[in-house]
């Protein structure tokens, strides 16, 4: 039986959308769960209340829920934040070391390269994301800075705010911790750093898999077919959350852009070993030991990186001076009444 071409294309597009979400929800939740166990004792205690803890785990899946909406403008805005396909910088002749940490300056860098090198505009697909490397390092850094902001005003509201303001500020910290977590989790999945994100593409001298099920297999299919990671064992293998140092060489990059980029580049280095592992049947349900070790290392790497960013945001966040002044004036006015 012959199917119309556009029907096949539509089904292929749907399958593609369904199979390239990065770690499934269970794996994203586990990364957050592990990360929470490593925070220092002086990290705000409300974060560990069961309802807040559960909310942080729930929010690990939030940016993927945005992807379920088929609206093109939302897809255009959101989809690119989930990955950074390093090889796709090459046509633009941009090296990772030369990336602007400002998101829109990076867009300009690409636009300039397109004009200079006469590259095609990414018009071929409906949400205009084709051929775009993605924004994952920017998404991590910007969401990190939004968390810093939430801690900054929380610190002031805790001292000078009303009960409602304190509750709202704490709720926002929970929300921001949850949203940031998703992108750190995504980057721990090496297939989110490569154009080979769902089977090898282009010249394939080492004969790696080209299966369009590979991404979903790494996201969670492997663990579902074998055995889910053992939370208690993984927790024992984690170190306490540590503060992130800013690299001296890039003082101009704000937030922790350079750290986010280095983290992604490090996971990209594990992309080909992952394909190699597959080739050696290390990801097969019959011989899963090496695959299990590899993927659990990635989950732990995501958890440690996330915890370090949470811990650093809380420590680095300066009290919000603008808010402090506003609240001091409010107190003065109320005193006069």
Q: Which residues in the 176-195 window bind Zn ion by CB under 5 A? A: 186
- Of 83 and 222, CB closest to Zn ion: 83
Q: Which residue of 22, 187, 191, 299 would you call a contact of Zn ion, by CB under 5 A?
A: 22
| HSE-up of residue 242 (Cα within 13 Å, Cβ side) | 7
Nearer to Zn ion, 152 or 198 (CB): 198
DSSP string, 150-207: HHHHHHHHHHH--HHHHHHHHHHHHHHHHHHHHHHHHHTSGGGGSS-BTB--S--TT-
Q: Which residues fall within 8 angstroms of residue 256, CB to CB, at 6 or more apart?
A: 140, 141, 144, 244, 246, 309, 312
155 contributes a contact to Zn ion by CB under 5 A = no
One character per residue 63-92, x = contact with Zn ion (rule: CB under 5 A):
-x-----------------x----------
Helix axes 289-316, 163-187, angle to 10 degrees: 140
Cβ 96 to Zn ion shortest distance, Å: 21
Cβ-closest position to Zn ion: 82
Give the contact letters, 109-148, x = binds to Zn ion (CB under 5 A), - = no: ----------------------------------------
Among the listed ranges 21-29, 90-98, 229-237, 280-288, the one in contact with Zn ion (CB under 5 A) is 21-29
Check if the beta carbon of residue 220 is closer than 8 Å to that of residue 28.
no
- Cβ neighbourhood burial of 29 (10 Å; 0-12, 13-18, 19+): buried
For the chain, the maximum distance between any two Cα atoms, rounded to a whole number of angstroms, is: 84
Comparing CB distances to Zn ion, the nearer of 22 and 260 is 22
DSSP 269-293: TTHHHHHHHHHTTTTBTTB-HHHHH
Q: Taking CB under 5 A as the rule, which mask of x and - marks residues 195-234 in contact with Zn ion?
A: ----------------------------------------
Nearer to Zn ion, 85 or 186 (CB): 186
Q: How far is the CB of 77 from Zn ion (least distance, A)?
A: 14
Note the residues at the interface with Zn ion (CB under 5 A). Answer: 22, 64, 82, 186
């Amino acid at each position: 039986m012959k199917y119309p071409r556009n029907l096949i294309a539509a089904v292929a597009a749907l399958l593609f959308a369904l199979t390239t979400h990065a770690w499934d929800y269970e794996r994203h939740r586990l990364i957050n769960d592990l990360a929470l166990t490593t925070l220092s004792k002086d990290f705000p205690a409300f974060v560990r209340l069961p309802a807040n803890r559960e909310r942080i785990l729930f929010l690990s899946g939030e940016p993927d829920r945005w992807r379920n909406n088929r609206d093109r403008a939302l897809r255009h805005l959101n989809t690119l934040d989930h990955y950074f396909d390093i090889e796709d910088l090459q046509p633009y002749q941009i090296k990772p070391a030369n990336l602007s940490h400002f998101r829109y300056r990076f867009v300009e860098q690409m636009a300039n390269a397109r004009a200079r090198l006469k590259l095609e505009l990414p018009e071929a697909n409906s949400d205009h994301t084709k051929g775009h490397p993605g924004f994952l390092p920017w998404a991590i850094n910007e969401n990190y800075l939004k968390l810093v902001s939430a801690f900054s005003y929380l610190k002031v509201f805790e001292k000078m705010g009303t009960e409602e303001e304190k509750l709202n500020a704490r709720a926002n910290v929970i929300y921001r911790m949850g949203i940031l977590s998703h992108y750190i989790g995504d980057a721990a999945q090496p297939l989110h750093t490569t154009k080979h994100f769902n089977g090898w593409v282009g010249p394939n001298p080492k004969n790696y898999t080209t299966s369009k099920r590979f991404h979903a297999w790494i996201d969670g299919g492997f663990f579902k077919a074998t055995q889910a990671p053992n939370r208690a064992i993984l927790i024992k293998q984690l170190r306490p959350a540590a503060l992130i140092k800013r690299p001296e060489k890039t003082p101009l990059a704000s937030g922790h852009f350079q750290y986010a980029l280095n983290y992604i580049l490090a996971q990209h280095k594990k992309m080909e070993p992952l394909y190699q592992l597959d080739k050696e049947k290390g990801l097969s349900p019959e011989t899963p030991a090496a695959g299990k070790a590899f993927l659990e290392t990635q989950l732990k790497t995501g958890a440690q990186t996330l915890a370090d960013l949470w811990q650093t945001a809380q420590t680095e966040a300066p009290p919000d001076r603008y808010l402090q002044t506003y609240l001091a004036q409010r107190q003065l006015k109320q005193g006069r009444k």
